[in-house]
Amino acid sequence: MSLLIKIRNMKFHKLKLAGAYVVELEPLEDSRGFFARAFCENEFAAAGIPFKVSQMNISSNRHKGTLRGLHYQLGDAAEDKFVRCIRGGIVDVIVDVRPGSATFLEHEMVELDERNRKAILLPKGFAHGIQTLSDESQVLYLASAPYAPKFERGLRWNDPRLGIRWPLEPAVISEKDQALPDFDPAYHLK
């Protein structure tokens, strides 16, 4: 992870998958605790990262080992996402599903938790999933486009072609996520 740029209250670190970043807060601390800017459209733009917020979502997870994903949307419904764990801890996994990308179907895994205060920014064309590392975790994420079920796609969490090594044996997975198919260009890219 290399430092791209520090803009006022945020540090942007490039990941190996082009367009993806880990974003660190620069907290201002005193005897009360701290204050930090968690997101700023202007600071993102100053770092060369355009991001418009259309939707804010929260995922509350009761049990350690809960797995959600790997989800994304196609075409005009594709989303940039900015993801932060605000309670407990998670591992966030992103998969490049951009045809023609040098890192097509490669993935990265980043640990996010309430203590490290890191966030991950992923651009359109990435599948996204999380696994909780603690009970009672909460994840807050911003999306650049509204959810469009017709354009929703997903990769199976244990697709052998992806080779993702999740940190825990999944304890809870929805039926919908269990039924996601292995990668097939006819389904996943159209």
The b/e string for 109-135 (b: 16+ C-beta within 10 A; e otherwise) is ebebbeeebbbbbbbbbbbbbbbbbbe
SS3 176: helix
Q: One of 13, 71, 107, 188 is an active-site residue; which one? A: 71
What is the C-alpha to C-alpha distance for residues 26 and 63, in angstroms, rounded to an integer?
30
101 alpha-carbon distance from chain centroid = 18
- Residue 72 falls in the annotated catalytic set: no
CA 92 to chain centre: 6
Residue 141 pairs in a beta bridge with 57, 83
Strands 66-73, 172-173: pairing is parallel
81 Cα distance to chain centroid: 6
Catalytic annotation, pick one of 21, 72, 107, 141: 141
The residues assigned a catalytic role are 71, 141
